[in-house]
Structure 1
Amino acid sequence: MPLKFAYAGSAAYTHDTYARSADYLSMLASARHEADALVSAGVVAAHALTVAEIGPGNGGRSRAFLTRLAHRGRPCQRYLALDFSETLLDIACARLARFAGDRMSVDSHVWDIECGTSRGVERWRPGPEPVISCLLGHTLGNVEQPVTALANIRAALRPGDVLLLSVALGPADEPSPVAALAPYRSPEFRAAALQPLLAAGLDEADLEFVLGWKDGVVVGEAVLRRPVQVGGGVLPAGHRIRCFQSRRFRPHDVIAAVGDAGWQVRDALPAPGGSHLVVTASRH
């Protein structure tokens, strides 16, 4: 089950709770690094920006990113939130509109970047100035086919537009990735990951949440404690349902994926400590 379903419908409210938890808020420092990486790449001038963010979550992380951009002399004048989940978009845009006041217009468009391109950005585009398309906070690591998603984003944009991408790094051959699994052990994340199964009619008491690591991917599974009837069939006790997977990247793999999707890489800047990589690319 793709992780995107943990952000849709009733699960959007569970994610909002998780995104206000201490574990999640501790990651906001990387949002400031993402803004700094965009400025240092030299691809945007010192004036108001037009930003289209894919996967803004509940808007809290986006607010930290936009605040840092303004402090660096690149305030956002027009902002478009793009997401698979209409409910989560409503939550994010309400939070960002309160933050922005009359300094920034806030709009939204539903788009699943895994299923194809979209005309949403083109219809929203205010003029000829370049759009900064942002895929931040390791959103790319949660999709099933990263190169396909990046190509779909490129197809939705114009020559001269910019991609700002950040991903979490980690070696595929690490035998015991304590640091990689730690962010997923909180009760808030467990609730968010299981919410789609609960919405489908399963009982939380029948589910054990198990984390694992395989070939550079964090995998979360729900294991049935007893047989469960779903639709016209029965799933046996011990049946495992993948709730999500979150890929970790090596720097050269990220850069290769961006290039394979048709983007021209302009800069790649590791975060302090080496846990994240921020890539800036342009569309030609």
Structure 2
Amino acid sequence: MAAFRAIRAGRVPLKFAYAGSAAHTHDAYASSADYLSMLASAHHEADALISAGVLTVGALAVAEIGPGNGGRSRAFLERLGSRGWPCQRYLALDFSETLLGMACARLTRFAGDRMSVDSHVWDIECDTSCEVERWRAGTEPVVGCLLGHTLGNVEQPVGVLVNIRDALRVGDVLLLSVALVTRHTATADAVLAPYRSPAFREAALQPLLAAGLAGTDLDFSLSWHDDVVVGEAVLRRPARLDDGELAAGHRIRCFQSRRFRPHDVIVAVEEAGWQVRAVAYAPGDAHLVVTAARR
């Protein structure tokens, strides 16, 4: 099993914190003030898309990668509609089938018969996908969204952006938002403060707990270096995992979230084959929203 192999290797990709039973822990944590404080507002993301001047049709087709529990997605779509750009067709894409179910249930209740809601499982860190092409209606352009700092949580950001590019057509649009390193988040204390909560600890450790490790057997620590927040668990005593044993002191990186420098975001987007059309800073300059076109 992939999660067992990752735990034994000491590096658990963050995507496992959203899958299976961990999706319910994330659902609870995603409503916390600490979590929301680390993301650009959904209204700002929608306004940045409209201001970029790339939209050409009145009723949008939106394919969102990593919609989480659907709460911020609803706010994003509401804002677009209130400004005259309603979404007519919506596709949710995620590694976690459980989270997809939560998101689509929320968005279906919100949309009624005004918007169709579909979903497909896609691991953007693994390869590209043909699901957007299958879902697409004719020649309509698609707005592909990677919002809420999802890009900062993957292992290889450029590779992910290439996979998304290959899933879309020339003429489609990418809307991307990320958290930045700023003068207000230059110290470890400032960056780590929103993560120092019982709710975050539970969410970060959930893949390990779901695999059978006991929370009382795990120490958990946070660190900040090279613009990356790292959460690491350490076994206090030997533990059985699947068909093997982990030694006391075994270290497991179970959380990683990268902050970006603005120039690095632009370079990554362009290296992945996108043409940057607009950039917009959120109030306080803590987040950057990039709109790009597939070359």
TM-score category by the smaller chain?
over 0.9
Separation (CA, whole Å) in 1 of partners of 2:285 and 2:31? 25
Residue in structure 1 matched with residue 123 of structure 2 by the alignment: 112
1:47-62 to 2 correspondence within 5 Å? Answer: 47-62=58-73
- CA distance in 2 between counterparts of 1:181 and 1:50 reads 37
CA apart distance, 1:111: 0.4
Query: Does 1:185 find its partner at 2:202?
Result: no
- The more displaced of 46-55 and 80-89 is 46-55
Q: What is the rounded CA distance, in whole Å, between the counterparts of 2:198 and 2:49 in structure 1?
A: 34
1:268 corresponding residue in structure 2: 279
CA distance in 2, matches of 1:247, 1:231: 31
Deviation at 1:185, TM superposition (A): 1.7
Q: 1:99 to 1:27 in 2, by over 3 A?
A: farther
> Match of 1:7?
18
Pick closer, same or farther for the CA change 1:167–1:32 going to 2, 3 Å.
same
SS at match of 2:220: strand
Would the aligned equivalents of 1:168 and 1:277 in 2 still touch at CA under 8 Å? yes
State the TM-score, normalizing by the size of structure 1. Answer: 0.95
Task: Give the conservation status (yes or no) of the 8 Å contact 1:210–1:221.
Answer: yes
Query: Matched residues in 1 for 2:244 and 2:114: separation?
Result: 54
Alignment of 1:41 with 2:73, yes or no, is no
**Equivalent residue of 1:166, what SS?**
strand
Q: Tell me which of 155, 160, 184 is aligned to 2:171.
A: 160
1:278 aligns with 2:285: no
Query: Which residue of structure 2 lines up, in the alignment, with residue 207 of structure 1?
Result: 218
Q: Percent identity?
A: 76
- Per the TM alignment, residue 214 of structure 1 is displaced from its structure 2 partner at its CA by 1.3
Residue matched to 1:142: 153
Counterpart amino acid of 1:263?
W
SS of the residue corresponding to residue 41 of structure 2 reads: helix
Q: CA deviation at 1:180?
A: 2.0
TM-score, with structure 2 as normaliser: 0.92
Contact 2:39 / 2:287 at 8 angstroms: preserved in 1? no
SS in 2 for 1:249: coil
Q: How far is 1:215 from its partner?
A: 0.3
Residue 239 of structure 1 corresponds to 250
Q: Does 1:79 align with 2:90?
A: yes
Structure 1 residue 71: Cα displacement: 1.5
Given candidates 122, 127, 135, the residue that maps to 2:138 is: 127
Instruction: Structure 2: state its 5+ residue gaps.
Output: 1-11
> Alignment partner of 1:264: what SS?
strand
Q: Which moved more, 1:182-191 or 1:232-241?
A: 232-241
**1: distance between equivalents of 2:181 and 2:91?**
31
Q: 1:90 aligns with which of 101, 115, 128?
A: 101
Separation (CA, whole Å) in 1 of partners of 2:207 and 2:91: 26
The match for 2:8 is none
* Distance in structure 1 (CA, Å) of the matches to 2:190 and 2:60: 35
1:258 equivalenced with 2:269 (yes/no)? yes
Aligned length: 283
Q: Do 1:46 and 1:73's aligned partners in 2 also have CA atoms closer than 8 Å?
A: no
In structure 2, C-alpha distance between the alignment counterparts of 1:27 and 1:43, rounded to whole Å: 27
Shift of 1:183: 2.3
For 1:195, the aligned partner's letter is Q
Native 8 Å contact 1:222 1:243 kept in 2? yes
Q: What is the aligned-residue RMSD (CA, Å)?
A: 1.6
Partner of 1:61, secondary structure, is helix
After superposing the two structures, state which structure 1 stretch, 131-140 or 231-240, moved more: 231-240
Q: Distance in 2 between matches of 1:224 and 1:171?
A: 34
- Counterpart of 1:55 in structure 2: which amino acid? G
Q: What is the identity, as a one-letter code, of the residue corresponding to 1:69?
A: L
Say yes or no: does 1:228 pair with 2:263: no
